């Protein structure tokens, strides 16, 4: 992820995710609902789980690139299983 980049605030109905930071420092926002979010900064070799249905966002607040490995698990992994709540790119 480029410096200053951020993904939409989103959730998934059919999958959970596990993120491992392999380069840089990633900022992760996550929680069981939009009114119960925590924000965590993760450095290299740190990881975090995004449980099924949780609201989440990944961003790079630094001036250096961030690289992560994402593992998805669930009964459906299609890209149409994204519910976006806030998106800088105008996707619904």
| Helix/strand/coil for 44 | coil
Average pLDDT score over residue span 66-92: 90
Q: pLDDT for 32-66, tens place per residue?
A: 999 999 999 999 999 999 999 999 999 999 999 99
Give the domain range for residue 36.
9-75
* Cβ atoms 60, 66 nearer than 8 A: yes
Q: What sign does the CA torsion over 69, 74, 77, 81 have?
A: negative
Task: Tell me, yes or no, whether 23 lies in a domain.
Answer: yes
* Cβ atoms 29, 37 nearer than 8 A: yes
Task: Tell me, yes or no, whether 83 lies in a domain.
Answer: no
What's the total number of domains in the chain? Answer: 1
CATH code of the domain in which 55 resides: 2.60.120.10
What local confidence, expressed as pLDDT, does residue 36 receive? 95
Task: Tell me, yes or no, whether 86 lies in a domain.
Answer: no
- What tokens were used for 27? 């900022």
Task: Tell me, yes or no, whether 92 lies in a domain.
Answer: no
Residue 50 CA to residue 17 CA, distance in Å, equals 5
């Amino acid at each position: 992820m480029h410096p200053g980049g951020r993904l939409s605030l989103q959730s998934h109905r059919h999958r959970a995710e596990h993120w491992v930071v392999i380069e840089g420092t990633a900022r992760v926002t996550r929680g069981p609902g939009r009114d119960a979010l925590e924000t965590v900064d993760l450095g290299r070799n740190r990881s975090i789980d995004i449980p099924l249905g949780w609201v989440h966002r990944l961003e790079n607040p630094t001036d250096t690139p961030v690289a992560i490995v994402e593992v998805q698990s669930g009964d459906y992994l299609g890209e149409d299983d994204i519910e976006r709540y806030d998106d800088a790119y105008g996707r619904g």
